[in-house]
Amino acid sequence: MESTEVPLSKELLHARPTPEPVEDWIYEIGTSFRPDMRVPVRIFADDVLIQQIQRDRSLRQLVNVSTLPGIVDAALGMPDMHEGYGFPVGGVAATRLPDGVISPGGIGFDINCGVRLLVSELEEDDIRPVLEKLIHEVSRSVPAGFGRSSRKLSLNRRQLDHLLNDGVPYLVEELHLGVSEDVHFLESGGAMPGAKSTQVSERAKQRGHDQLGTLGGGNHFVEIQLVDQVFDDDAAAQLGLFPGKITVLVHTGSRGLGHQVCTDYVKRMDAVMTRHGIHVPDRQLACAPFSSQAGQEYFAAMGAAANYGFANRQVIAHHMRRIFEEFLGESRGALRLIYDVAHNTAKVERYGDDELVVHRKGATRAFGPSSREIPPAYQGLGQPVFIPGSMGTASYVLLGTDEARDISLASCCHGAGRAMSRTQSKHEVRGADLRHELEDEGIAIECTSNVELAEEAPTAYKDVDRVVDVVHEAGMARKVARLRPIAVLKG
């Protein structure tokens, strides 16, 4: 590959970009800002969110992303964007095959962090009498917190390799964790193409063998919610989301295994970049040509870690079904899977005549009604998209649009997005006070410590209503329903 180095002064490298509005809900930073930019930067936001986004380094990070070899269209920032490792969280970028690169920093450490939504026929009055006991049982069955391992499920090496290669279908068919219908309602069928356990290090496998069915820490959670508002009656009915119905939302990823995969390949790509003539303005953007040995091996390892993420949410959903049936009866407590979507992945997708490697970091795939890559039940409707709010606030169900392919590489936001650091939030919020506030609002809460509650306080995040409104108004996805939490297990 021809050398990509463009000399930059320290002042230019650290210059603060100023995005300019170009149309409603869209801001841009043009390629004239820095000589190494290959494409513009495009951010989806309103006047309030764009000011919040400018408070951290995320715009500079997105400018750096725009310099990657093979990048096309624009480096995209979602309305929930904030500073991350390499790419900002809420960053989307596509590189054209065969010459484009793949960058582990464009997927992140929590490979296939994602969300899964299940729906019941229950209403609040059915579950409220047992809610506190039920969510306590959830906390006993689903270990939460950094480094926590499963007390009930530990895979041997043969089982783990099968899982990494074959994803959720292996869990359902061989380990009987779930029902066969589940596989039809998972992004990529719960099994990423090209996944290879042989490209996952022994250290990563050691970290993953006993963490399946665990929540982890940070902003991960299991929430019991109710359908609080419906924006599209017909679409909501097709999804089974009727006002007052109880739902379960699971948010977690690939745990220590995914983190180790990212760690391993960032180091490797940092070592091979110069061999391919690649120079990046930030070493956190370490990358390699997608078609190179390093690129292909990372893609295979990332796919395996993504399969672990799908499987992790599958096991947690299995526990939730068991607990609901135990407390509410086999028939009344039944939970049906609506969909499971990933947030942190890279996928090969076709746009016109081009095959692109689409990096989504803290961003949700949002395919429209005409896509043949979504379940047949949703073709003509659109892919379900789930946007969790901050703790104690609403979450949203949306549907992808066909227009999003041209607007945002068929992508949209993944949550509210942090507005302040965890350290700052701990200094400004008392976890015990927040716990009482949530309980006063009728939300049963299980969390390992008040300190972790303070880190995830609603004030630490952007306004999810505002974020979702931008997505809806820009045409990236359309609002269907809002969900309100009544019980939370927090990582």
Residues marked as catalytic: 414
- Known binding site for GMP: residues? 219-223, 343-344, 388-391, 395, 414-417, 490
Minimal CA–CA distance to 167: which of 177, 491, 356? 177
Which residues define the annotated binding site for Mn(2+)?
110, 220, 251, 343
DSSP-derived 3-state class of residue 489:
strand
How far apart CA 298 and CA 304 sit, in angstroms, is: 10
DSSP codes of every residue in 318-350: HHHHHHHHHHH-TTTT--EEEEEEESSEEEEEE
Which strands form 354-361's sheet, in the order they lie side by side? 20-23, 26-29, 41-44, 71-82, 89-96, 354-361, 345-351
Mapped onto helix, strand or coil, the DSSP state of residue 163 is: helix
Binding residues, by number, are: 110, 219-223, 251, 343-344, 388-391, 395, 414-417, 490
User: For the CA atoms of 81, 84, 89, 95, what is the dihedral angle to 10 degrees?
Assistant: 110
Q: Which residues contact 409 (CB under 8 A, 6 or more apart)?
A: 73, 76, 92, 94, 351, 356, 358
Q: Where are the beta strands (DSSP E) in 259-404?
A: 288-289, 336-342, 345-351, 354-361, 364-365, 384-387, 395-400
Secondary structure element (H or E) that encloses residue 389, with its range: none
Rounded CA gap, 190 and 311, in Å?
Answer: 7
